[in-house]
Structure 1
Amino acid sequence: MKKYKIQSAPFVVPTTDGKLIEEHFGKATDGNSNISIAHMVAPPHWSEPFQRPEFAEYTYIISGKKQFIIEDEVVVLQTGQSIKIEANTRVQYSNPFDEACDYISVCTPAFDFTKVHREE
């Protein structure tokens, strides 16, 4: 039995907002509930509602910029920067800029839509 797995066919999460989400490892791809690793591209002028996920999320910006509103603070990450947002933190993710944002997201435990708790 091999001690590694190369992922060349990530699960592409269906979206309706133009955002690309490719889960390489996690619940949807290999049933792993401990961690999820996804490549994402947020199009220009994209945003999500505020949420309070039950998992920590790490984000690394490959190119472009991404805006986070964490509780009441606005934080903008640029290419090469990363952030960890603790579980149960109220946050809004967006890309209010004119270029796409290419980034990697890691969630611990794994991303689970039933544990995102998006506001209406």
Structure 2
Amino acid sequence: MSQKKYTIQNNPFIVPTTDGKIIKEHFGNATDGNSEISIAHMKAPAGWSEPFQTPEFDEFTFIIKGKKQFIIEGEQIVLEAGQSIKIERNTRVQYSNPFTEVCEYIAICKPAFSLDLVNRED
């Protein structure tokens, strides 16, 4: 019998958070031990923000619903549903949702997201 050459993810890892953000990692370090790439489905509540960080991975974001604010090396950018962005590794960035509706998006990190590589500021 041949081995399957695909994996269907029906049970993503739900990352514990304290800020109301919902993170469901479909593939990556927490889910299947893949350190090369991570793919997560996110929902950031209205008013959410996180500290500045300088990750050691490229991060791609695709906005499904709502809007998300990025401060990238001091430049403020807002993306809306249907837009996407790639932020290169070793770039100082802050992610937030200062708007009134939930922002739903997909985040892809290469190599995979890990707390060791994100370099969040205190």
Does 1:74 pair with 2:72? no
Q: Which amino acid aligns with 1:78?
A: E
Partner of 2:14: 12
Q: What's the CA shift string for 1:10-34, capped at 9, x where partnerless? A: 0000000000000000000000000
User: Match of 2:38, as an amino acid?
Assistant: S
Which amino acid in 2 is paired with 1:44?
A: A
Look up the SS of the partner of 1:28 in the other structure: helix
Share of identical aligned residues, percent?
71
**Residue in structure 1 matched with residue 114 of structure 2 by the alignment:** 112
Which residue in 1 is equivalent to 2:104?
Answer: 102
* C-alpha distance in structure 2 between counterparts of 1:111 and 1:20, whole Å: 15
Give SS of 1:84's match. Answer: strand
Give ranges in structure 1 of 5+ residues lacking alignment.
Answer: none
SS in 2 for 1:68: strand
2:51 is aligned to: 49
1:91 maps onto 2:103 in alignment: no
- TM (norm. structure 1) is 0.99
For residue 114 of structure 1, report the CA deviation from its aligned partner.
1.1
Give the CA deviation at 1:99: 0.2
2:103 is aligned with what amino acid? C
Larger Rg: 2
Question: How many residue pairs end up in the alignment?
Answer: 120
User: Which amino acid letter does the alignment assign opposite residue 6 of structure 2?
Assistant: Y
Partner of 1:60: 62
CA offset at residue 51 of structure 1? Answer: 0.3
Match of 1:26 among 24, 28, 46: 28
Any stretches of 5+ residues in structure 2 without a counterpart?
Answer: none
TM-score, structure 2 as length reference: 0.98
Instruction: Name the aligned partner's letter for residue 19 of structure 2.
Output: D
